[in-house]
Amino acid sequence: MKKVGTKKAASKKQKIQEVHHRPEEGYDLLTDSSRIHHPGAGGGHPQKKENLGDRIRKAREMRGLTVKDLSSRTGIREEILTRVETNDIIPPLGELIKIGKAVEMKMGFFISPGAEQTMTVVRREARPVISRYGKKRSEQYGYSYESLAPEKGNRFMEPFLVTLMPTSEQELSTHDGQEFIFVLEGEMKAQVGQQAEVLRPGDAIYYDSTHPHLVKCAGDRPTKILAVLYTGNK
C-alpha cells in the first residue's frame, strides 16, 4: 500500500511540474527578457518577468518623462503608448526606433538588452519565438519578426528575420537610420518616397529610413526577408 501511495504522489508531483514548466500559449521570447538565456547566469531565484512594455516604461521614467511627453517627442498617440507600456500591444519596429530616440536609448534595449560579449551565436533551432499574439494578430499587423542577435549587448545594428503577411496596410513610416533588406522567399513591395519596386528572392534594397517608406508582402503568400536596421543611435 505504501508503494502505491508513493507512486501516486510521485505521479502527481510530476504533473504539477509539467504544468508549471509548460510555456504559455503565444509567449514571446523576443520581448520577454526573463525567457532569454544569458551566458554566465547562475542558479538562484528566477528573474522577475520583464516585457518590452516594462522596459519602455522604465526608460521613460528614467528620463523623467510622462506619457504625454513621450507622445509629444515621438508623434505616437498617448493611448497607444499606454497600451504599449501595459504590454497590450507590440509597436511596429519604426515606432520602437522613435521611442528609443526620444528616451536616448538604443532600440536593442527594448527588444532584448543582451550582455557585453565579443561574439554571440544564435542557432537555427534556438532562434527566439516572436509572435506574442499568435498567427492571427501577426497577420493583422502585416509582419512578424525574430531578432537574430538578442544576446549581443551594445549593438549598433539590429538584424531580423521578418515574415511579411498579405495585408491591405498602406501606411508609410519615417524614422532615423538606414535599412538593408534581402528577400529570401516570396515577393515584397518596397516604396521609398514616390518610388516603388517589387523585389523577389535574391533581390536586395538599401535606403534611408528618414524618407517615408513602406515594406509589405506583394503577393497572396507570406514573404520572408532578412532585414538589418541601423537606428542612428550611437
Domain with residue 67: its CATH number is 2.60.120.10
pLDDT at 191 over 90: yes
As a whole number, mean pLDDT of residues 187-198 equals 95
Give residue 130's pLDDT band: very low, low, confident or very high (50, 70, 90).
low
Does some domain include residue 13? no
**Rg of the chain (C-alpha set):** 20
Does some domain include residue 97? yes
pTM (two decimals): 0.64
Domain encompassing residue 182? 49-230
Does some domain include residue 162? yes
Residues, the chain: 234
Q: How many domains does the chain have?
A: 1
Give residue 195's pLDDT band: very low, low, confident or very high (50, 70, 90).
very high
pLDDT at 60 over 80: yes
Q: Which of 51-60, 90-99, 124-133 has the highest mean pLDDT?
A: 51-60
pLDDT at 119 over 60: yes
Does some domain include residue 85? yes
Does some domain include residue 72? yes
Q: Where are the beta strands (DSSP E) in the chain?
A: 143-147, 157-164, 178-185, 188-192, 195-199, 204-208, 213-217, 223-230
